[in-house]
Structure 1
Amino acid sequence: METDSSLLSSELDQQRQDELYQQLLIKTMGKMPSDGNSSKFIRPHPGMCVKTFSLRDKQKVFVNICQSPEVPPPPELSHEKLVELLDSDDPTGYKVPMSLGEAHTEMDNSSNRCTVYDVVINGAFFQKCEKDALFQQFIMAVCLEGLENKYRLELSRDIKILKNRKFMGSLTEQNIRTKSKPVIQEIDSKDTQLQPSQAKTPQYCLLVEPPFGDPEYLVAEIQLPGVSSACSLVLDLGEDRLLLNARPSRFHLDIYFPFFVDQENSSAQYSTKTQVLTVTMPVMSS
């Protein structure tokens, strides 16, 4: 898979510097090849039901962790590697493909209304999590974090696995990706001098527009103090990942998104005045 190193075009001339923040600077953005029509509707199989609550309103929340062979499996991970991963500084480097369903209202055993989310993971990986307590704790944490990121929730980590039921309410069909997402590869040739270990991680924030309801855009605002020109930036954008390098080894950023984004219609702007790179990405509907 090839990446395009000419991702950010030259800056506008000095007379147009004040307009730079509003102008589109990316003429050719590095994009991962599309898989085409790589999704389908599936009905998830029961797995296990986790009970927790929302930290904001203290209301009960149930998470149906479901399984399906149609969901792509994550990369191979042994028990020993998982221990190393959890002990590392960046345990988020291991991505678990999953489908996060919309909230639906059900009735609990006390005939009270409760909120339920369905999360679907690969069936074989679910079986592995069932047999290993550490993997089970790991997948529950990943599912909760995924729901929090996608739906802007705050869920308690004081959880309980329901022993006598594998799901709460009913399981509905979900539209899932049937192929693994493309992976951003290393930049070679003239960009090999950009060593992440020699570069700093810039400050950044991810914003969702609109802030409430279904997300339409994901906006990344990245602070790059000392970067005087957009020509020194190399940006690669994947469906759920952003990779940025600033020559010469000044900054390196590699982050994952809580949503799939539309690479073809994404854009970027760099302001030499504020030294902030803004990447605007349409969110793909689930």
Structure 2
Amino acid sequence: MAAKHCEKDMLQQVNQLWSLLDDMSENSPEAYQRFIRHHLEEGMKQFSPPEPHTCVQTRILELSEKLLYINLCTWNMVSSPKSDSDPVPLAGGKLEENVEGTETYSVTDVAYNPEVLKKGNEDPVERDQLVCLAMKYIEEQHSLRLSHSYTLLKYKLKGSKKQMKRRLTGNAGPAQTAKKMTAGENDASLLQQLTSLKSADKEKEENDPPIRLPSDIRHPKKPGLIEEISSTEFDNGNKVETPKYQLSFIKGENEKAKIIQLKVELPGVSSVTECNLSVSKDDLVVDVPEKYRLQLDLPETISEDNVRAKFNKKTQILSVGMPTK
């Protein structure tokens, strides 16, 4: 009886909606067109496919180490956090192994809402936490152990968009359905358009992979800053510290920095083989598994091919010389 009553109320609400739309189409055709256009555009945006944003390179730590490429993607299908205290939603793709020449590597994809990655663009700390969150998700989802050191590559995508979309969605996706509807059915009735949108939404729910909501990783109360993922979540209870460091500059004749010198104190480190150093044109990561991790944005663009590093066992100091471009 309750189900029949609920059905009756729903039917009444639908009839009221159609009545309002009919009145709008007759009395205010322009407003009616704007209303329809707005909701169709919102539907197209919702069903748009994932787009590449950043490609990250790290390593899978197995018996024999192997490169892993992580494509960070923007995708409107992934919701943004409702508040700063909510978990950061993400969607993960399949893990694939590929061979390129003599190199064997793996590749996977992790998608965030565009607004989430936009904040990462504006704040290197947030960007680092989004990368760490993606790596943690991959470790849990695929039962892997990854290196904590990573490199942001110059290109946005490893592989093709088609491969990325297939790994994330597993099919052509509902975006094509929505595109076909708006491109070729401009004269269709409102009922047909809404029915098509409903079908596309149903197809999305049936075929798309679930969006994972990591319940243990949350925003801090401070607006705009994702809480740093504690190192204990990556290192089996061993705390990873940020080491003491010093940046200095050797200037040229024009007073511009010619060489950036970095000295990092690493107490307890006895060999350079314990250190992982990753340097790109504008940032640097020093990683000593289970002990230290340092990520810096460099003040000048450097020449990556001419970077030199040495470790002094006596003083336990890592020195890195980075010529600028």
TM-score by length of 2: 0.35
Structure having the larger proportion of residues in helix: 2
Q: Which has the larger radius of gyration?
A: 2
**Highest relative contact order (Cα 8 Å, sep 6+), 1 or 2?**
1
Structure having the larger proportion of residues in strand: 1
